[in-house]
Amino acid sequence: MPRLSVVVPIYNVERYLEECLDSIAAQTFEDFECVLVDDGSTDSSAAIAEAFAGSDQRFRLVRQENKGLGAARNTGWRHIAADTEYLAFVDSDDTLPPEAYQLMISTLDQTGSDFVAGNALRFNSKGYTPSGVHIKPFAETRLKTHISATPALVTDRTAWNKVYRRSFFDAAGILYPEGIHYEDAPVSVPLHYLAAGVDVLSETVYHWRERETGEVSITQMTDPRGLVDRVQSIDLVREWLQARPQPEYRDYLRSYDYNTMVEEIPKFFWLVVSGGAAYRAAYQQQVSRLLGAIGTERLGELSTLLRLKYRLTLADRIRTFVLVHRLHRKYVGLKRRIRRLLRRGAR
């Protein structure tokens, strides 16, 4: 049996798929199988995957009707070989550096940790840049750590920058939610809490594609469904943490909720400014409900400006919220320009 199983869900990525599969085939760690799950593609993606599987016996293709990314990952997991030691997921428009799996598996062999997670770069036709969401948790290498000892790992929510010990993943019994976007966190975050040890690598193990300008429109970004699904993803993590009977999970939930208020919900703010009435209504309804579940008394833990934005949200004063956020961003931009001018003057 191969030591590593890699699951690649595929849906309408004919433009990128071959580059992705080439990067997996070129791994210096060669003892793997790769299960390709065509999730009902309507372009030539399935044909590309089938041709690749025909040319490299480590790759095989599974087909299903379109069910979404979470369902495709779950299907791939169900089709991996029975006795593989490690498990990884790759999104079909992304790539990996050649030594990614060699580095991660050799680390797990050394430490015995339940899984390893590594840094990522964003890339497009212009080149590579650090992934903003991965900078903080992967600033330095830490072996056999835990999310309670490295709190920044609460933002390590992506499925694909990791290699799991198969026995750990299977025993956890947590599969990807189906039918929603932002399905990574309800698996990645609980597994961080369940792990006895996690290896965190500052080295880049994944290249995360940034779609070119024009491929994702502001209309798509401000579709209310995306906001609703993201909040549902947060709800699923909270429900899982609340259901755990161990006393330490009360502290874990409190820490997760704080991160939700200071990092996750603020990702919606500019979309509220740019979006139409439907998006603003969804934001007010969903975020107000979420803040109520967390406990509005916790707003006192936040900065004055963030607290104001949430108070305006809860009061359904979205026009005032938009004005405050615009003024805040102008103020931040002005401060940055002044700092740049002062640095130039000092030189």
What is the model's pLDDT at position 215? 60
What is the model's pLDDT at position 221? 75
What angle, rounded to 10 degrees, do the helices at 185-194 and 224-243 form? 20
Neighbours of 15 (CB within 10 A): 13
pLDDT over 60 at 216, yes or no: no
What is the model's pLDDT at position 214? 58
Express each pLDDT in 13-66 by its tens digit.
999 999 999 999 999 999 999 999 999 999 999 999 999 999 999 999 999 999
Tell me if 227 sits within 8 A of 313, measured CB to CB.
Answer: no
Indicate the pLDDT class of residue 73, thresholds 50, 70 and 90. Answer: very high
Mean of pLDDT values over 157-184? 96
Indicate the pLDDT class of residue 327, thresholds 50, 70 and 90. Answer: very high
pLDDT over 50 at 85, yes or no: yes
Helices (H), 211-303: 218-221, 224-243, 248-259, 269-274, 277-294
DSSP count for the chain of H helices, then E strands = 14, 9
pLDDT over 80 at 198, yes or no: yes
Express each pLDDT in 44-55 by its tens digit.
999 999 999 999
- The pairing of beta strand 162-165 with beta strand 86-89: antiparallel
The phi, psi pair for 208, rounded to 5°, reads -100, 115
Indicate the pLDDT class of residue 319, thresholds 50, 70 and 90. Answer: very high
Q: How much is the mean pLDDT over the chain? A: 94
What is the model's pLDDT at position 217? 45
pLDDT over 90 at 220, yes or no: no
pTM of the model: 0.92
